[in-house]
Amino acid sequence: MTGAAARDPLRAAVDAVYAAVVTHGEDWPALLAEMASLCREGPARSPGRE
């Protein structure tokens, strides 16, 4: 099950963090930098929704 498909928001968040850690592995500084960048950008917007 992917994080986005989880019905429980907490489970979805944990799944997303787990996937990010697995993707970045030992390169956790890059993971933190990417997360900080996303936080500065704000929430993602869907195309056509503004």
Written as one string, the DSSP assignment of 1-43 is --GGG-SSHHHHHHHHHHHHHHHHTT-HHHHHHHHHHHHHH-S
Q: Following CA atoms 44, 42, 18, 9 in sequence, which dihedral angle do they give, to the nearest 10 degrees? A: -70
Taking the complete model, does pTM exceed 0.75, yes or no? Answer: no
Question: For 5-50, how does the pLDDT look when each residue is reduced to its tens digit (9 = 90+)?
Answer: 557 899 998 898 888 888 888 888 888 888 888 888 876 655 554 4
